[in-house]
Amino acid sequence: MINRYRWWEYVLIYAGIATFLAFVLAPFLEAFLVSMRPIDALFSIPYRFVTEGMNFDSYVTMWTSVPLLWLYMLNSLFIATAVTLLALFTIIPAAYAFSRFEFKFKNGLLAGFLAINMVSGAVLIIPLYKVMQQLGLLNTYFAMILPGAAFVIPTGIWLLRSYLMKIPKELEEAAWVDGAGRIYTLWRVILPVALPGIMVVAIATFIAAYAQQFLFALTFNSTNELNPLPVGLYQFFGQQTVVWNELMAASLVGILPVLIVYIFLQRYIVAGLTAGAVKE
């Protein structure tokens, strides 16, 4: 058969996959091993994978060494959730407009939104800082949520627009014939049908918002109680004596929420990422 491999081809494929996965997963394995080592075993030479006296102590002591750890984690979740909700609130109507209506400057506006993808927050950091200052948003959650949401809008509009274009127009026309208003139609007729597409956008947005919580928090926020996990831990990273085993334990616990979301919803995530790779 076309997909039958000879034995050496199996060996090659599995060896290739194993090498690839080793590169991808090595840092996670190392972080896990480090988190299990007592601090003096950590600084022992020569290097070995398994050291004596491995235990889960760092997962207990980290809560006292990093007193605000639980707060950083909650902040991360809160910021990512708020970014997702705000982004959806702007993406859904915009994607609906681009998928359903003909209006002046439509293509220009769409290109304008997509062009946002080309710049990052780091490029605009100076005036962005001033905007935040003038709006009085420095050292508030908003300084992390608003820019976070703005930079995920283009991808969201693009994804949802292509999904909405597949929904038959007759659906709205039937609703209009029945005398439904246009907002009502969007809310009660289109949204329920588009729910799978909205899910993809929401998950992709959440993952992106959770992954990119460094720059804006680092620059716009100096109130430690509001810091998301990456910046919260970064302060410890820079210190002279880094308690590596606890830092790694905290890092691993901090990535659990997204890993769980990913494992359960990976089908949606991959769908969101690869939209556009295949010609429909």
Partner 1 sequence: MAVTRKKTDWFPYMLLVPASLLTLVIVAWPLVETFRLSLTDASLRPTTNFVGFDNYKKIFAGTFPTIIARTFYWMAISVSLKMLFGILGAVLLNAAVPGRTLFRVLIMPPWIVPIAIGVFMWGWMYNGQFGMISGMLQRLNLISEPFEFLAYANSSFLSTIVTDVWIGTPLVTVYLLAAMQGVPGDLHEAAWTDGASRLYRFRRITLPLIMPAVATMSLLSAIWTFNSFDIIWILTEGGPRGQTTTMIIDTYKTAISRFRYGEGAARAVMIVIFLSLFSAFYFAMISRIGKREVGND
Regarding 266 and contact with partner 1 (CB under 8 A), the answer is: yes
Question: 110 exposed, middle or buried (CB, 10 Å; 0-12, 13-18, 19+)?
Answer: middle
Q: With CB under 8 A, what is the number of residues at the site for partner 1?
A: 105
Interface residues for partner 1 in 82-101 (CB under 8 A)?
86, 89-91, 93-94, 96-97, 100-101
Report angle CA 271, 196, 199 to the nearest 5 degrees.
Answer: 75
Of 232-261, binders to partner 1 (CB under 8 A) are: 233-234, 237, 244, 247-248, 251, 254-255, 258-259
C-beta closer to partner 1: residue 58 or 212? 212
Choice from 73, 82, 151, 175 touching partner 1 (CB under 8 A): 151
Q: Does 184 bind partner 1 (CB under 8 A)?
A: no
Q: Is 77 in the site for partner 1 (CB under 8 A)?
A: no
Task: List binders of partner 1 among 210-229 (CB under 8 A).
Answer: 210-215, 219, 229
121-157 per-residue burial string, b: 16 or more CB within 10 A, e: under 16: beeebeebeeebeeeebbebbbbbbbbbbbbbbbbbb
Residue 263 near partner 1 by CB under 8 A: yes
The CB-of-225 to partner 1 minimum distance in angstroms stands at 19
Q: From the CB of 64, what's the least distance to partner 1, in Å?
A: 20
Candidates 52-60, 141-149, 159-167, 189-197 — which segment interacts with partner 1 by CB under 8 A? 141-149
Name the residue among 151, 160, 191, 182 with its Cα closest to residue 95: 160
User: 53, 74, 173, 235: which one contacts partner 1 (CB under 8 A)?
Assistant: 173
Q: Rounded to an integer, what distance in angstroms lies between the CA atom of residue 113 and that of residue 160?
A: 13
- Residues 6 or more apart whose Cβ sits within 8 Å of residue 268: 199, 200, 203, 204
The pattern of x and - marking residues 53 through 72 that bind partner 1 according to CB under 8 A reads --------------------
N- to C-terminal Cα distance for the chain?
A: 28
Burial class (CB within 10 angstroms; exposed 0-12, middle 13-18, buried 19+) of 88:
buried
Label residue 183 exposed, middle or buried (CB < 10 Å: 0-12, 13-18, 19+). exposed
Q: Which is nearer to partner 1, 192 or 279 (CB)?
A: 279
Helices (H) and strands (E) in the chain, counts: 14, 0
Site for partner 1 in 13-42 (CB under 8 A): 13-14, 16-17, 20-21, 23-28, 30-31, 34, 42
Residue 205 found at the interface with partner 1 (CB under 8 A): no
Q: Given phi > 0 = left and psi -120 to 50 = alpha, else beta, which region is 53? A: left
Preceding peptide of 46 cis, ω within 30°: yes
In the complex, least distance from residue 63 CB atom to partner 1, rounded to whole angstroms: 17
Candidate residues 133, 182, 224, 264; the one interacting with partner 1 per rule CB under 8 A: 182
